[in-house]
Amino acid sequence: MAATAVIRCSIPNCKEAAQYKLAAPWSDGRFTELKTYGHACAEHVGQVFRSAEDRRSTYKAAPGEQVGELGIYRSEKGWLDWQLQRDTELETRHRSWGSGAQGV
């Protein structure tokens, strides 16, 4: 096993280790994978999520290419796709910004 590399938060000046991965399922019709849009520490997860959501929504998919909904994934055990746990509660909280889904 390789030594565990520390993944840092995507915010340039932040030195924290990332606790979350922002990713959306991507598929070209044959392969499906989790496309990574960024990593975030607990403090910056909202900020990184919004910039990731911006990039995802302005991305022009090629014919046959599909980009799914952006999600916040918590790394509990590691950074492999199957080790990540989606945190929909956190997503809902940060998604209330823009995109019409205004919270009450």
Counting contacts by CB under 5 A, is residue 16 touching Zn ion? yes
Beta strands (DSSP E) in 19-94 are 20-27, 32-40, 66-67, 71-75, 84-86
| Sequence-distant (≥ 6) Cβ neighbours of residue 4 within 8 angstroms | 78
In terms of C-beta distances under 8 Å and separation of at least 24 residues, what long-range contacts does 51-57 make, across chains too?
52/22, 53/95, 53/98, 53/99, 56/24
- Return d(Cα 9, Cα 21) in angstroms, integer: 9
| Partners of residue 25 on adjacent β-strands | 34
Contact window for Zn ion (CB under 5 A) among 15-23, 24-32, 53-61, 70-78: 15-23
Counting contacts by CB under 5 A, is residue 23 touching Zn ion? no
Residue 26 vs 37, nearer CB to Zn ion: 37
Of these, 14, 35, 59, 75, which contacts Zn ion (CB under 5 A)? Answer: 14
Counting contacts by CB under 5 A, is residue 52 touching Zn ion? no
Residue 41 vs 84, nearer CB to Zn ion: 41
Residue 2 vs 6, nearer CB to Zn ion: 6
Shortest spacing between CB 43 and Zn ion, in angstroms: 5
Counting contacts by CB under 5 A, is residue 48 touching Zn ion? no
